[in-house]
């Protein structure tokens, strides 16, 4: 196993990150599997840092895709800070909700870092989380389908934001669970429609993943991986993630996420088979 990530490796990992970061299939799980197949040491600090930093490319894609919404929300937040009369604006409130909803994952991420980067980084955990997370996603769709009416984006509440934001902890602790899978599923269980659930998932991902990328930057540049590979991986992640975001929003407007759940189960059991046979190291 090596900690060196060459340019070609960076391209491959950038594609995987961009494709899977916002689809409910677990980017962390797919990256760990891909790194294992490429002979890269998934437990090395520089490798963990590299995968966290190229996530920033995916986040940049979300920022670019939702730029008008983000400018509107941030502007409303700024106006509200300086003018009490502006604080009833829904965008002002939503900006604070995103901040509040990010606090739980930040606390857990810092407190549990040794465990997250240690025993929980195992590919066995990834395999189990892929399968268990699929069950949660399937249940969320079933629960959502029994509702006579599902709420839209304009009906999102602070409670929704806090619960959906806190659900990101599942993906943080159990790589393979999927941050987007956890957040979208939680939002569906709470009664949001799929588009509202997916958009909320996107907005809540911005501070969490950006913070993780910045926090891990020192490790990403501290090993054998070159700055060139880091830049290439991040750029590829950006391009592919932008296309994935656009596709996913169109997809969920007409389809359930059950197909993703089935795919995850297949990948989970395939990973168990590769680990059990010795084809991949845990």
Which pTM value belongs to this model?
A: 0.89
Predicted pLDDT at 220: 60
Separation CA 266–CA 127 (nearest Å): 10
Predicted pLDDT at 219: 62
Q: Where are the domains of the chain?
A: 7-277
From first CA to last CA, the distance across the chain in angstroms is: 12
Predicted pLDDT at 44: 73
User: pLDDT below 50 — which residues of the chain?
Assistant: none
Using CB atoms within 10 Å of the CB of residue 259, give its burial: 0 to 12 exposed, 13 to 18 middle, 19+ buried: exposed
Predicted pLDDT at 5: 85
Predicted pLDDT at 19: 94
Which contacts (CB < 8 Å, 24+ apart) does range 109-113 have?
Answer: 109/172, 109/212, 112/172, 112/173
Q: Which DSSP helix (H) or strand (E) runs through 108?
A: helix 90-111
Predicted pLDDT at 50: 84
Separation CA 149–CA 158 (nearest Å): 20
Using CB atoms within 10 Å of the CB of residue 234, give its burial: 0 to 12 exposed, 13 to 18 middle, 19+ buried: buried
Question: Which tokens hold the place of 209?
Answer: 């993943």
Predicted pLDDT at 32: 81
Predicted pLDDT at 56: 84
3-state percent breakdown (helix, strand, coil) of the chain, nearest 5: 80, 0, 20
Separation CA 112–CA 118 (nearest Å): 10
- What does the angle CA 274 – CA 265 – CA 14 come to, to the nearest 5 degrees? 70
Residue 55 neighbours by CB distance under 10 Å: 28
40, β-bridge pairs? 2
Predicted pLDDT at 243: 97
Predicted pLDDT at 53: 82
Predicted pLDDT at 149: 87
Separation CA 11–CA 240 (nearest Å): 11
151: DSSP letter: B
Separation CA 36–CA 175 (nearest Å): 14
87: DSSP letter: G
CA distances from 86 to 47, 90, 100 (A): 45, 9, 19
């Amino acid at each position: 196993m090596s900690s060196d990530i060459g340019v070609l490796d960076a391209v491959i990992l950038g594609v995987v990150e961009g494709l899977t970061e916002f689809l409910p299939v677990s980017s962390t799980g797919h990256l760990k599997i891909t790194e294992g197949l490429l002979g890269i040491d998934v437990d090395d600090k520089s490798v963990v840092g590299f995968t966290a930093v190229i996530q920033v490319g995916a986040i940049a894609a979300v920022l670019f895709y939702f730029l008008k919404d983000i400018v509107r929300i941030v502007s409303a937040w700024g106006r509200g800070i300086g003018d009490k009369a502006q604080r009833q604006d829904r965008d002002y409130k939503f900006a604070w909700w995103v901040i509040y909803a990010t606090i739980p994952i930040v606390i857990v991420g810092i407190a549990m870092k040794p465990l997250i980067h240690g025993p929980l980084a195992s590919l066995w955990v990834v395999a189990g989380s892929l399968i268990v997370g699929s069950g949660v996603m399937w249940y969320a769709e079933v629960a959502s389908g029994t509702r006579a009416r599902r709420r839209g984006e304009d009906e999102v509440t602070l409670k929704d934001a806090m619960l959906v934001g806190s659900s990101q902890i599942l993906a943080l602790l159990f790589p393979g669970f999927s941050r987007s899978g956890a957040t979208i599923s939680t939002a569906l269980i709470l009664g949001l429609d799929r588009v509202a659930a997916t958009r909320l998932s996107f907005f809540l991902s911005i501070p969490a993943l950006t913070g993780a990328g910045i926090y891990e930057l020192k490790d990403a540049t501290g090993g054998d991986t070159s700055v060139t590979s880091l830049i290439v991986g991040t750029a590829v992640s950006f391009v592919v993630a932008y296309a994935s975001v656009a596709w996913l929003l169109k997809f969920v407007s007409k389809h359930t996420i059950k197909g993703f759940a089935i795919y995850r189960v297949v990948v989970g059991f395939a990973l168990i088979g590769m680990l059990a046979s010795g084809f991949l190291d845990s």
